[in-house]
């Protein structure tokens, strides 16, 4: 089905189901309960889950398949955002032209950077990509202010021409991004008892695009091109001894990965038409590296899992403050309550990075294959348990299971 084998098609269906049902899955607690703090089913966060999932999927094509570790992929994310916002300013508020331009410009930019950076391998390649990203950040922040609007960031205004659209609404406001009239910020709320589920147009557009990006990544992984990238990662020197020039393959992977990052940047701007230089900082590049390694580099679904994990921590755990903690531990005696809150507040709120760092350290130490490896080990454990509980006749009848 769709050119995929049964296993890959099942994986695609699982991801599609998670995307479709995310408003329910991410809102497990009633809106008025104390545990509602952990709900993540609101549009802004759901959009970030899938957008950064696209970013990580693209990075995984470069790092997971070829082994080239780029510390500058945020440059393509920023370029995609700037391109999309300029399309909104000059053409129309329709997101399709903006997304297409973001992918094209990011691809060209990746071609230039990759052509230079791929002349080196290993740590030298990583440092080159980091240098290009920092140069891009500084150019956007100070030098190219007529194009990027510097530290303020590029945003749409009432004075923008918008050739195929209106510069202002009938009420005199700035028009919103849309898909042929369907507003990206449009949200329907379904109230079921104490639960409130939000269905956002922008989220589902991003979700559909992520599914397409995920499908393309599966085809790349299973193609002869993907096998060549795996061979480059396994032993590039041996390939060179056969007379095969590996640089075009690595460059193609770099450009595809950059286009994925540009697509993510274009979607960020489509959901919130603002582009700033901070999206090109080295910390943003480091974040996608963490997403990929945490989820499972070289696996298909790992980067998506890692992106969701980190964005959940960033947006949920960072909002837990001292008053919330006192509400949780109010059943304890006052002295004990204050002590528990004092200890816990170092791992949430502004200190959420400490918790993420500890979890990342544990995953890398005990699950080198990332969270996906952890899931596989759990699944294997349950399978072995079910085998041991099965009747002897059944075990003999289906030895392969």
Structure confidence at residue 390 as a pLDDT band (50, 70, 90): low
Q: Which pLDDT belongs to residue 130?
A: 94
H/E stretch holding 213 reads helix 201-222
Mean pLDDT across the chain, nearest whole number?
Answer: 89
Structure confidence at residue 396 as a pLDDT band (50, 70, 90): very low
The 10s digit of each residue's pLDDT in 198-210 is 999 999 999 999 9
Between residues 79 and 193, the one the model is more confident about: 79
Q: Is the pLDDT of residue 240 over 90?
A: no
Q: Is the pLDDT of residue 392 over 70?
A: no
Per the CB < 8 A criterion, the answer to whether 126 and 59 are in contact is no
Q: Is the pLDDT of residue 397 over 80?
A: no
Q: Which pLDDT belongs to residue 315?
A: 85
Rounded CA gap, 302 and 57, in Å?
8
For the chain, the C-alpha Rg in angstroms (whole number) is 23
Does the pTM exceed 0.85?
yes
Closest CA to 28 of 146, 196, 179: 196
Per the CB < 8 A criterion, the answer to whether 218 and 8 are in contact is yes
The 10s digit of each residue's pLDDT in 284-336 is 898 999 999 999 998 999 999 999 989 988 888 888 888 888 888 888 888 88
pLDDT > 70 in the chain, percent: 96
Q: Is the pLDDT of residue 95 over 70?
A: yes
Rounded CA gap, 62 and 286, in Å?
15
Structure confidence at residue 399 as a pLDDT band (50, 70, 90): very low
User: Where along the chain do its domains lie?
Assistant: 6-281
Q: What is the mean pLDDT of residues 152-172?
A: 86
Per the CB < 8 A criterion, the answer to whether 168 and 162 are in contact is no
Q: Is the pLDDT of residue 140 over 70?
A: yes
Distances from the Cα of 19 to the Cα of 12, 26, 122, angstroms: 11, 10, 36
Closest CA to 290 of 363, 214, 210, 373: 363
Closest CA to 133 of 60, 79, 66: 79
Q: What is the mean pLDDT of residues 93-103?
A: 95
- Greatest mean pLDDT among 36-45, 108-117, 305-314, 384-393 lies in 108-117
Between residues 401 and 158, the one the model is more confident about: 158
Q: Which pLDDT belongs to residue 325?
A: 85
The 10s digit of each residue's pLDDT in 336-369 is 888 988 888 888 888 888 888 888 888 888 888 8
């Amino acid at each position: 089905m769709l050119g995929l084998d049964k296993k890959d098609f099942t994986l695609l269906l699982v991801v599609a189901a998670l995307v479709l049902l995310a408003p329910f899955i991410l809102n497990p607690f009633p809106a008025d309960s104390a545990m509602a703090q952990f709900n993540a089913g609101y549009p802004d966060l759901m959009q970030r889950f899938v957008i950064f999932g696209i970013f990580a999927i693209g990075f995984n094509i470069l790092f997971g398949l070829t082994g080239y570790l780029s510390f500058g992929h945020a440059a393509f994310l920023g370029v995609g955002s700037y391109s999309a916002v300029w399309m909104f300013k000059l053409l129309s508020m329709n997101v399709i032209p903006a997304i297409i331009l973001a992918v094209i410009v990011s691809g060209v930019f990746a071609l230039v950077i990759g052509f230079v950076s791929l002349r080196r391998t290993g740590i030298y390649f990583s440092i080159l990509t980091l240098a290009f990203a920092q140069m891009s950040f500084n150019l956007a922040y100070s030098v190219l202010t007529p194009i990027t609007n510097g530290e303020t960031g590029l945003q749409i205004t009432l004075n923008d021409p918008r050739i195929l659209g209106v510069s202002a609404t009938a009420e005199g406001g700035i028009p919103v991004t849309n898909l042929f009239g369907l507003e990206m910020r449009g949200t329907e709320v379904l109230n079921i008892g104490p639960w409130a589920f939000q269905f956002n147009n922008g989220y589902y557009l991003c979700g559909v695009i992520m599914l397409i990006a995920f499908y393309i990544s599966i085809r790349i992984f299973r193609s002869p091109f993907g096998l060549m990238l795996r061979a480059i990662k396994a032993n590039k020197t041996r390939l060179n001894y056969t007379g095969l020039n590996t640089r075009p393959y690595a460059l193609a992977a770099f450009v595809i990965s950059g286009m994925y990052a540009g697509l993510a940047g274009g979607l960020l701007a489509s959901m919130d038409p603002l582009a700033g230089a901070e999206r090109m900082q080295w910390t943003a590049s480091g974040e996608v590296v963490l997403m990929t390694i945490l989820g499972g580099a070289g696996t298909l679904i790992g980067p998506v899992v890692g992106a969701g994990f980190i964005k959940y921590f960033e947006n949920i755990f960072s909002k837990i403050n001292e008053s919330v903690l006192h509400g949780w531990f109010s059943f304890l005696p006052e002295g004990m309550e204050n002590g528990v809150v004092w200890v816990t507040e170092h791992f949430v709120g502004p200190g959420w990075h400490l918790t993420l760092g500890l979890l990342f350290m544990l995953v890398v130490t005990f699950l080198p294959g990332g969270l996906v490896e952890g899931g596989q080990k759990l699944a294997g454990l349950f399978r072995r348990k079910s085998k041991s509980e099965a009747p002897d006749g059944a075990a003999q009848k289906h030895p392969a299971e």
